[in-house]
Amino acid sequence: MARPLRIQYPGAVYHVTCRGNEQKDIFKDDADRRRFLEYLIQSLDIYSVKLCSYIIMTNHFHLLVQTPLGNLAEFMRHFNITYTGYYNRRHNRTGHLYQGRYKSILVDKDAYLAVLSRYIHLNPVRVKAMEKVPREEKIRYLTTYPWSSLPGYLSRRKREEYIDYTLVLAAYGGDTDRARQAYREALYLELAAGIEIKDKVCGQSILGSEGFIEWVMEKFLSGEKDRERPSLKEIHTYRAKDVILKAVEQEAGKGVEEIIKEKGVYRQVLMELLYRVGGLKGQEIGKIMGVGYTSVSQERRRLRQRLAGDRKLAALIARIEQKCH
């Protein structure tokens, strides 16, 4: 069987799943789950990815994410390698933790975002052991399950900073108490009716309306000649790169070559804005700076650490970013 296609573009939404190798557990205890979330939050920050929903089960996990920079593969590679390394060290093991590559389905957010979020949140009660459990007990188990983004969808007080609730709740009128009540009611109705999405997925890769699938096919899968053409993302990225370079030069009062050579804060700011505003990947930024992509990640992390207690630096970045638009 052919591998599912990997379609990436800025703003794309994906349902991502990973299972343990040979169906084995990928979490031994709550310490593993806490570290998993820690690495997930770090990766979301590094790659500017939005997390809408998640669930952690014993031998697999589900994520519903949006990639403003069109960089799902880069994000998942970093995240999975980081957690696998930790897991292998802690449990004195070697080799693959996951069963093959992660599975990702490109999602039509207008048609399926809310449905998929509920599908993910229902996972704890969709296991065989819960089949004959009474409805009220299922609800109690579901709402108290600790390794899920569901609590923030049911109560404002339980929201987490690293979850973007707005995309899903937009289907119910916005991030309001009324929307949360509507989400709750839809979720509870589906406890009995269930949700099936597998038969709606096109080519193992796309979940959406006919119009969305046609758009994806025409835009990304229309033939080798079309694939060879520069995409709109690439054109806009390189145009943005020139704007960012000029804005940083103006603020620093010196040329890019000097900024790179000095290895100061403006160099870190340039790396950050080329990634976050320009949409360039770490490897591309590294070529501009004359370093490897790991150095780019390290410098961006150092900048974020400095930002935590430096208002002047935050104002500087805001000024430069404003000039880029």
Q: What does DSSP assign to residue 164?
A: -
Q: Could you tell me the domains of the chain?
A: 12-220 (3.30.70.1290), 232-323 (1.10.1750.10)
Q: Taking Cα atoms as reference points, which of 212, 192, 187 lies closest to residue 200?
A: 212
In the chain, at which residue ranges do the beta strands (DSSP E only) sit? Answer: 12-19, 50-56, 60-67, 103-107, 206-207
Q: From first to last of its 325 residues, what are the pLDDT tens digits of the chain?
A: 445 567 899 999 999 999 998 889 999 999 999 999 999 999 999 999 999 999 999 999 999 999 999 999 999 999 999 999 999 999 999 889 998 889 999 999 888 899 899 999 999 998 888 888 898 999 999 999 999 999 999 999 999 999 999 999 998 888 899 999 999 988 988 887 677 777 778 877 898 888 888 888 888 877 644 444 444 444 445 557 888 898 899 999 999 899 998 888 999 999 988 887 777 778 889 888 899 888 888 888 888 888 766 778 877 887 887 777 6
Q: Taking Cα atoms as reference points, which of 231, 313, 317 lies closest to residue 274?
A: 317
Cα 279 to Cα 9: distance, rounded to the nearest angstrom: 11
Question: What is each CA distance from 19 to 58, 60, 74, 85, 242, in whole angstroms?
Answer: 9, 4, 19, 16, 42
Q: In terms of C-beta density within 10 A (0-12 exposed, 13-18 middle, 19 or more buried), how is residue 134 classed? A: exposed
Coil vs helix vs strand at 59: coil
Q: Cα 157–65–150 angle (5° rounding)?
A: 30
